[in-house]
Homo-oligomer: A and B are copies of this chain.
Amino acid sequence: MTTRERLLIDVNHEIEMLRQYLGTSGHHPEVGEFSEIMAPAKAYWTYPDVISPAPHVFRIAGEQKIRDLVIYHHQLLFASPLKDIFGDSEKRFEIIANRTADFHVEACGGPKYYSSVRGSASLGIRHLPFTITEADRELWLDLYAKSLVDTQFPLDAGEIYWRWIESVSLRVINRRGRALPPERVSFNQAMIKARELAECAL
């Protein structure tokens, strides 16, 4: 048995964040007990609706533009701390990037390149072996925002596409590393972040 991974988390900071978020001390004054002892039922993760990008994005942007976007995004991922998911093999990286492009073309309203070969995408399940935190999702999204700008993806298709990937990405997080639930990222926020990233050398 190898040593299990530890995340660098400032526990006291996270407890403070939760207190501020809840507006309480974390205690239940009416019973004088810890929240853990008396905590009521709650849903910690509430996933929002996933909003399909089909058929608009395929109609507006077309297959080649979608493929270029996904491949460019994967190149950014491969140069980022998220690269471990692809392993060491460039060949494997290429297979994954092309397969993802097939899926995105189909999801956006194009030909059934993915489902005809692989069936259901089940993205959350397919990513279970790989640790994906809230921060990993945010980096993945930031690099998508940069990709939309850098590949000059049509802006109106980009906004519909963003709503899809942002809502889907919440469901791929499988490692909770924060006290608070993951945050939504609007298309406007994404475009601001993309401009910031453009000013930095990446």
Residues of A within 8 A of B (CB): 1, 3-9, 11, 14-15, 18, 25-27, 31, 33-50, 52-54, 81, 84-85, 107, 115, 119-126, 128-131, 164, 168, 171, 174-179
Contact = CB atoms under 8 A, between A and B. Distances in A.
A130 to B, nearest CB: 6
A160 to B, nearest CB: 12
Given A15-B120, A15-B125, 6 more contacts: A25-B120, A36-B50, A43-B46, A44-B45, A124-B179, A128-B179
15 contacts: A4-B85, A11-B122, A14-B125, A15-B125, A18-B125, A34-B120, A35-B122, A37-B53, A37-B107, A39-B50, A40-B50, A43-B43, A124-B179, A174-B176, A174-B177
